[in-house]
Amino acid sequence: MIEFNSQNEFKLDKEDQVLNWLNSVAEMENHQVGELGYVFCSDEYLLDINIQYLDHDTYTDIVTFDYKEGTVLNGEMYISTDRVADNAEQFSVSFDSELRRVMVHGLLHMCGFGDKTDEDAKLMRAKEDEYLKLWDERFA
């Protein structure tokens, strides 16, 4: 089960389609969704989490807490809607598209994909693009 919550005024559009899309991504990566929570929040809220739990004093678009058990995805993902808006403007994409990229990025981390090396980051970006295309083709 995937739940969406907000610590700010954000409201997710097309919630049912997003749920179906994320479940499809997990399945295509040979995982199943257990208990996943997406929490939408402000920069400051996520910065506090980043400092408290990861000892990183930087703004970020997502922090993922992975409690996966085998191939069952369990965890929490905190997404700064402020960062998503800034990134969307910087990369000349819509807010919704950038939000989906960040959401699937966190899910892919839980499926075992990294982004610390150039090679891993390239694969992560290719996977994000693949699943954004899936969204456009089947869920938009």
Could you give the count of Cα atoms lying within 13 Å of 109 in the half-sphere of its Cβ?
Answer: 18
Burial group, residue 18, by CB count within 10 angstroms (0-12, 13-18, 19+): buried
On whether 115 is known to bind a ligand per the annotation, the reply is yes
Residue 21 is inside which H or E element, if any? helix 15-28
Residue 61 carries which side chain, given as an amino acid letter?
D
56 is in an annotated binding site: no
The binding site for Zn(2+) comprises 105, 109, 115
The binding site comprises 105, 109, 115
